[in-house]
Structure 1
Amino acid sequence: MKKQTIIKGTLILTIGGLISRVLGFVNRIYLSNIIGAEGMGLYQLIFPIYMICYTFCCSGIFTAISRLTAEEMAKGSKSDVKKMIRIVTAIATSLGVALMVLLYLNAEFISIRIIHEPRIVAGLRIVSISIPFTAIAHCVKGYFYGVNKPTLPAISQVTEQIIRISIIYLLSSSFILKGLEYACAVAVIGMAVGEISTCLFVYLFYYGETRKILISKAAKTYRYFVKKISAIAIPLTTNRLITTILSSFETILIPGMLKSYGYSHNYAISVYGTLTGMAFPLIFFPTVVTTSASLMLLPAISEAYARKQKGVIKNTVSITIKFSIMMGIVFNFFFLAFGKDLGLMVFNEGYVGTLLISLSFLCPFLYLQTTLGSLLNGIDKHMITFRNNIIGLGLRIMFIYLLIPQLGLKGYLIGLLVSLIVVSVLDIYCLVKATSLSFNPLTFIVMPALCCVGTLALHTVFMRIYTFSYGFKVNTLIDMAFYFIVVMPLLLMTRCISFKDFKI
């Protein structure tokens, strides 16, 4: 895959992702206003179980489709690709239906016995209905990423958010009066309807694109594709399922450990909701760029690896790591300087701003992690990714048990930072060994940090000379705009980035 294709695809996905996340924030702001921090906590408690189901029927299969589609299309085997998608969709749908039935029937047991929160029974049952549709949608999206057509998945993201917001807005007035449990159920209904709509949307376009492609008699056998898909999907799914289960266990532990610190049950859920439903989405917002890049990088690196193009791999890995670290540093200083005001502006909640300042130090490692996994998977280092992620999760769970009862939420944040640093160092070390990557701390870390410090110094001087009285929200937007307007030219002037990196 050409560098231009990766950049164009990343830009398309980034634009779609930005629109989708902005709409997602509109949704979260509206939700936080009607259900509060405790309601957001209940809503977020549904996701660990949903993510386990998603990982089981989608995660490994999605990667397998993206990778094998890229390989088969490079050989000109459109007929084989269509046959493969047919097989994979059937497998994923079967898994999705089985998980839907299991989750629906066991929702009460999971809510009461595992999560210890009976108010999410209805939410789990509602979200279970969307699982087969999510599985089908991700099979089709994997195909479009594999053939380097990311526009449709990007449009589907935006469409899903619009439908989700519309459903929540239309139903909220009817459900909110019935209590917090029903109000949370509305949010889950919006999510489920959005997933179902996305499935129908992408499948219709896939059908329109491939209906004229006939499966030739010379096409590879079903057994061949089942073996190829299984060879990639089963190890990946197993690895990711273990990490997702541990991650879900970690998430479910947090409210319980906060109670050990001395919080009441409801307040622990509120703190959990503020962290995961308000602060985390703001910190994760910039990952729309790195996530988009990782989706485009996997088939690109896989193709280069299959063709033994070591120079292409080394160059792609180097640029990707540089941009991920640099973006993390830029947002580290951004949230450190403007986190307090941002939390108040978006959610009208001072505690969100306090959390953003603490979470800002995660940014360089957090954004790096979203791309390192794809780079390692692309060069067939799945087990290394799995091992490193398990180490990180083990560290976080240890910190949850040891530090939250002593330090409260601060103990979890310390564990999160330590685990991200350890996993990032391990991943980069493995990439350096595998690709002969040259890591330059001056260009990758020191210069971007100095540019950010210089920008904030200029901002301080500027604000002393000029005063604005447009109101809190407008003034905050001016402050943030100043930061990005100044820091980008500084990064270019110091050659941390160059226009040739963006050459299309």
Structure 2
Amino acid sequence: MYMAILPTILFVVVLSNIELPVSISKLIAEKEPTYHWSVLKHALKLASLWAVVMMFIASWILPLLPVFHTYHVGIQWMLLLLIPIITFSAVVKGYLIGAQKTTKIAIANLMKRSLQLVGLLIVFQLFSFDSDVAIFMALLALKLSELLVLGYLMVVFIFNIKKIKSVKQTTLTGKEVRQKLLAVSIPTTGLRIFHSASFAIKPFLITWALGNAGMIESIAVVEYGKLAGIAFTVGFFPAFIAHALLIVLIPIVADAYERKDFATLHHYLKLSMIVTVFYGAPVVLMFYAFAEPITNLFFEASSAHIYLQILVPYFIFQYFATPLQAYLIGIGLVKDAFIHSLYSTSISFVLMIVLGSMQSLQMDGIILGMNMGAVLLTLLHYVTICKKTRIKRYDGTPRSAAFVKVESRMNNR
């Protein structure tokens, strides 16, 4: 039952924060501290307006969705009240990330996960609930953890704001701030929605392709469950490191690109790739070598371990793609990131249909199509970054303006 309502919850969360942590952190990193309070005032006004609009829309639409008709009535109210908490948390997180207070964000994330886990353990160990009440209690634990984390972040936020306001501030117009925030937030939110939509389409596409290969629909659904529920769960467990890199890199890249400091951009690009290799390579090798005992923890004697082994290229390239996406956001190429995702997902879906429909490949063909999509996405990100940051070769050698002119003259001869 929880899996049926999960896409709606995730969709509400994505729309509620409209990627304000990304857009605010980028703008804060680009501006001097004398502009920070002005940016935050306008960001808070925008967040307040958006929270009101989202709550109005949600209060109208949520009761109409059939998926909620079989659940506890309090679940809709929980989602509704979660909206302003998520929106204002997004503003605070965006400022702290942009001001490079990432330790505070790490503490907040650890607090949230710990509070959710402790809350769920207390509720379900001490009490016994029906399934609909259990989901309500799970959402209540989520809401309370978000509320407590927001309280912690607000204390840190107010402390930093007092320090900022002690320095003479420069005023920015509300229109300028809104334009810059929405220029990043809208395409980034679109990117998140696209990823969510493509993820929602995958089970139907995969079962259809496997049906073309002669597999019974009920078996195809089970095989997809092994792929998404076991192989993906295991493979994406280390992805929190890639997400941490994304959070750290966006303000650094935005600040360096604003100053046209290409040496710093090259340095952090190399560093992020090295970090990804150091954690990603051992992890995927472990997945490949110990796939069977790892997947047997979830589902004994299944084909999930084979899927995990074939998915190794998919996971390692996804680990690389995340920090590269941070670079694209930092240098203002969010639209390029969206186009890359559109291209790679489209080609991946075509390959999944073609290869998955072959009786000789079936699920192996599905996974090969996914692998190709991940490889293409990473390469598109990397090539675009190299062009934008004047990196000539894969080793990170920069192309200076003088070198570009000389090279151009030689090519014209």
Please name the residue that 2:385 is paired with: 431
Q: Report if the CA contact (8 A) 2:307-2:367 is conserved.
A: no
Please name the residue that 1:413 is paired with: 367
Query: Displacement of 1:440 after TM fit?
Result: 5.1
Give, in whole Å, the separation in 2 of the partners of 1:425 and 1:84.
35
Please name the residue that 1:392 is paired with: 344
Tell me if 1:135 matches 2:87: yes
Q: Report if the CA contact (8 A) 2:250-2:327 is conserved.
A: yes
Please name the residue that 2:198 is paired with: 247
Q: Which secondary structure state, in structure 1, belongs to the residue aligned with residue 311 of structure 2?
A: helix
Tell me if 1:378 matches 2:337: no
Please name the residue that 2:263 is paired with: 311
Please name the residue that 2:244 is paired with: 292
What does the per-residue CA deviation read over 1:397-443, in whole Å, with 9 as the maximum and x for residues that have no partner?
445656667776545433321210111121122222223153259xx
Query: Displacement of 1:303 after TM fit?
Result: 1.1
What does the per-residue CA deviation read over 1:366-393, in whole Å, with 9 as the maximum and x for residues that have no partner?
1011111011222222222111011122
Read off the aligned partner of 1:424 and give its amino acid letter. T
Determine which of 40, 49, 52 is the counterpart of 2:8: 49
Please name the residue that 1:82 is paired with: 37
Query: Displacement of 1:168 after TM fit?
Result: 1.5
Q: Matched residues, percent identical? A: 20
Query: Displacement of 1:157 after TM fit?
Result: 0.9
Please name the residue that 2:400 is paired with: none
Please name the residue that 1:225 is paired with: 177
**Please, what TM-score do these two structures have when normalized by structure 2?**
0.80
What does the per-residue CA deviation read over 1:327-372, in whole Å, with 9 as the maximum and x for residues that have no partner?
4333221100012222334x46454545433332322201011111
Give, in whole Å, the separation in 2 of the partners of 1:397 and 1:418.
10
What does the per-residue CA deviation read over 1:229-258, in whole Å, with 9 as the maximum and x for residues that have no partner?
233333433x42552453354256368759
Give, in whole Å, the separation in 2 of the partners of 1:405 and 1:146.
47
Determine which of 358, 364, 367 is the counterpart of 2:319: 367
Q: Report if the CA contact (8 A) 1:43-1:187 is conserved.
A: no
Change (3 A) 1:98 1:408: farther
Structure 1, 412-421 or 250-259: larger mean CA deviation? 250-259
| 1:136-155 correspondence runs (5 A) | 136-155=88-107
Determine which of 60, 63, 75 is the counterpart of 2:19: 60
Determine which of 188, 195, 215 is the counterpart of 1:236: 188
Change (3 A) 1:199 1:377: same
Change (3 A) 1:111 1:328: farther
Please name the residue that 2:157 is paired with: 206
Change (3 A) 1:69 1:217: closer
Q: Report if the CA contact (8 A) 2:11-2:193 is conserved.
A: no
Give, in whole Å, the separation in 2 of the partners of 1:51 and 1:174.
28
Change (3 A) 1:257 1:313: same
Q: Which secondary structure state, in structure 2, belongs to the residue aligned with residue 250 of structure 1?
A: helix
Please name the residue that 2:118 is paired with: 166
Give the helix-richer structure, 1 or 2: 1
Give, in whole Å, the separation in 2 of the partners of 1:274 and 1:388.
28
Give, in whole Å, the separation in 2 of the partners of 1:398 and 1:122.
41
Query: Displacement of 1:156 after TM fit?
Result: 0.9
Q: Report if the CA contact (8 A) 1:48-1:251 is conserved.
A: no
Give, in whole Å, the separation in 1 of the partners of 2:2 and 2:75.
10
Change (3 A) 1:348 1:232: closer
Q: Report if the CA contact (8 A) 1:396-1:416 is conserved.
A: yes
Give, in whole Å, the separation in 2 of the partners of 1:105 and 1:399.
40
Change (3 A) 1:213 1:301: closer
Unmatched tracts of structure 1, length 5 or more: 1-41, 442-504
The count of aligned residue pairs is 387
Query: Displacement of 1:44 after TM fit?
Result: 4.0
